[in-house]
Amino acid sequence: MRRARGRCPAPRLAALVGLALAPIGSLCAAKLFTLSLEDIAAGRAEVVDLTHDLQEGTPLFPGGVPFALEPLTRLADGYYMNTFSSGEHTGTHVDAPAHFGKGLPTVDEIPARRLISNGIMIDARAKAAANPNYALTVADLVEWEKANGKIPPQSLVVMNTGWHQRWESPDRYLNRDEAGAMHFPGFSVEALRVLLKERDVNGVGIDTASIDPGASITFEGHKVMLLGGRYQVENLDNLDLLPARGFTLIVAPMKISRGSGAPARVFAIVPR
């Protein structure tokens, strides 16, 4: 159901008029769109799948375990069925707090209410194209909020680096140099701290193999988010299809008991 549509300016209008209306935009945008099956059925909202196919040959973070599918039966046997094996951090997946923190929630323990979020998309494609080691800054967050309004609590902030376009080419996706170091963009530690402590986000997401820039070997961003009790989603797809805000994100990781993370299906419900 859409609420308060008559009283709030549309997000696009708020973005056009910029600064002056930004606080109104932020108040209204948070309420402007609420998931409705009727909206989806009537074509007023669409479901965008932000998930890569789980299959062999996809990019893997070093140490990761590839996905593999083995046939068990064919239709000729009566029904079609496979078995599969996979690392927890393979394909589009969630990192749970327990991935880095002792005694912190495992993937099955992430509260379900934290998995449905206000969608926030930060477009960092131009900066990432100019610098593959780009780390999203606090200044980028300030700039985004000037244009779009304050990031509301219970948001999942996804960074569109454009890297999801490289998924079909694992070499280009991980972008290793001759010494083996990876070069892809990510979040800065400072930006993650602001999102966690000052914006109370549910989590963050990115269309690369890690929320830390690829060259990181200390995973400081992971520590900020996961030790802060929140989660992250990595290897997202289709971020080009998202507006800056005003949509809903649904993250559904496999409920692996005591898992450090899990492959996830991720949907955005986007008003048309």
Binding residues vs Zn ion (CB under 5 A):
89, 95, 261
For residue 164, give both structure tokens. Answer: 């999801």
Output the smallest distance, CB 156 to Zn ion, in A. 15
Q: Which is nearer to Zn ion, 95 or 212 (CB)?
A: 95
Catalytic residue among 52, 89, 93, 99: 99
Residue 91 or 246: the one with the smaller Cβ distance to Zn ion is 91
Own/partner long-range contacts of 137-145 (Cβ < 8 Å, ≥24 apart):
137/188, 137/190, 137/191, 138/188, 138/190, 138/191, 138/194, 140/191, 141/191, 141/194, 141/195, 144/244, 145/22, 145/26
CB of 234 to Zn ion, least distance (A): 5
Residue 39 vs 95, nearer CB to Zn ion: 95
**Least gap, CB of 245 to Zn ion (angstroms):** 25
- The least distance separating Zn ion from the CB of residue 209, rounded to whole angstroms, comes to 8
C-alpha–C-alpha distance, residues 107 and 258, integer Å: 7
- Which residue, 119 or 261, is less far from Zn ion as judged by CB? 261
- Which CB sits closer to Zn ion, 39 or 88? 88
Specify the residue, 152 or 253, whose C-beta has the smaller distance to Zn ion.
253
To Zn ion, the closest distance from the beta carbon of 130 in angstroms equals 26
CB-closest chain residue to Zn ion: 89
Smallest separation (angstroms) from Zn ion to the CB of 210: 7
Instruction: Clarify whether 52 is annotated catalytic.
Output: no
**Catalytic positions:** 99
